[in-house]
Structure 1
Amino acid sequence: MAEHNDFGNLAEDLATDFLAQKNYKILARNFHFQKAEIDIVTEFENQIVIVEVKARSYNTLIDPQEAVTKKKIKSIVLCADFFMKEKNIDKEVRFDIITVLPDEKGKLIINHIEDAFQIFDAN
């Protein structure tokens, strides 16, 4: 497996642990529909929270969350819609982004961006 995939998996593990510590109930990881994927699906305060994890093993000028393009948002929303229908869940949905970046000393820092985008951002 490629090194960047290993780091991506580590970032998703860290994000999942971070959310669990904040009392988010983990419902699914790496949920797929067609070519779309949701990194983490959680439930928190009677909402379904769809979480996209973006990580960089090095610090760049561009924040990782900026990699969540309109096309990516559309894909996440499509997948979330399928998840909700397949699981027969009728709750409000929120879309979050978690970024994982190293600080100056190489320690991984997690940033949780709640309500990072809306469904209309996909249009």
Structure 2
Amino acid sequence: MAEHNESGKNAEEQAAEWLKSKGYEHLESNFRHGHAEIDLIMKYKGLLIFVEVKYRSGTGFGYAEEFVDATKRKLIIKAADQYIHQIDWHKDIRFDIVGVYKDRHGNLNFKSFEDAFY
């Protein structure tokens, strides 16, 4: 696996643990539907939450939330629609972005963008 893929996978695992520490329930990772993928599917306070995780080793090229473009959002929504249908969900949903940033000391920091798009 390429190093950037390994970093991304590790960031997704760390983001899931971070969200669980805040009371979220982890339902799925890397849910795929066609070409679309949802990094994390969580449940929190009655909401079904679809989370796109973006890893950045720095902010020189931009922030995590800037890397979820319209095409990526459409793919995530398409996969979410499939998941909602698959589990027969009839309550509210939310789309979040979690930025995972590595500081100059190698520590990971997290920034959550709740209700980032729809």
Q: Shift of the alpha carbon at 1:106? A: 2.5
Does the 8 A contact of 1:40 with 1:52 survive in 2? yes
Supply the distance in 1 between the matched residues of 2:109 and 2:60 (Cα, whole angstroms). 14
Does the 8 A contact of 1:59 with 1:102 survive in 2? no
User: Which residue is equivalent to 1:70?
Assistant: 70
Supply the distance in 2 between the matched residues of 1:61 and 1:37 (Cα, whole angstroms). 24
Supply the distance in 2 between the matched residues of 1:39 and 1:112 (Cα, whole angstroms). 14
Q: In percent, how many aligned pairs have the same letter?
A: 38
Q: TM-score scaled by structure 2?
A: 0.95
Q: How many residues align?
A: 118
Unmatched 5+ residue regions in structure 2? none
Structure 1 segments (4+ residues) deviating >6 Å: none
Does the 8 A contact of 1:30 with 1:37 survive in 2? yes
Supply the distance in 1 between the matched residues of 2:61 and 2:33 (Cα, whole angstroms). 32
Q: TM-score scaled by structure 1?
A: 0.91
How much is the aligned-residue C-alpha RMSD, in angstroms? 1.0
SS of the counterpart of 1:115? coil
Q: Shift of the alpha carbon at 1:113? A: 1.1
Unmatched 5+ residue regions in structure 1? none
Supply the distance in 2 between the matched residues of 1:59 and 1:106 (Cα, whole angstroms). 14
User: Which residue is equivalent to 1:108?
Assistant: 108
SS of the counterpart of 1:98? strand
User: Which residue is equivalent to 2:5?
Assistant: 5
